[in-house]
Amino acid sequence: MAEEPEKKQADGQPIALQSDPQTASGVYSNLMMVSHRKEEFVLDFLFVHPQRGAKGEAVANLRSRVVTSPEHVKRILRALEDNVSRYESKFGVIEEATDLPKVVH
């Protein structure tokens, strides 16, 4: 297993992060869909292909699904807000994408 740099828990305790090479390389996603129920949130990370399907529809592949607790989603949200803020302070404002396919619920 490949080892990643040491991470810290919220209480400052170190976490030895380990991963196999395939997981460590990650997956690319250009769309995320979120659903929830009382006990959990489901985060689906998709790749929407630039080419349309045979019938002209957008084609997307599910790349990864993360199922987690509402409490952890709050921590994820806080971590993302903090990291986007630090990123924008260093590199400038991130413009939101406007060319994503419309998702019908």
Note the pLDDT of residue 104.
Answer: 44
Is the torsion defined by CA of 18, 19, 25, 26 positive or negative?
A: negative
Q: How far apart are CA 35 and CA 65, in angstroms?
A: 11
Q: How far apart are CA 51 and CA 48, in angstroms?
A: 9
Note the pLDDT of residue 3.
Answer: 44
Tally helices (H) and strands (E) across the chain.
Answer: 2, 7
Q: Low-confidence residues of the chain, pLDDT below 70?
A: 1-11, 100-105
Token code pair at residue 44: 């689906």
Residues for the chain: how many in total?
105
Q: Would you list the domain boundaries of the chain?
A: 2-69
DSSP secondary structure letter of residue 55: T
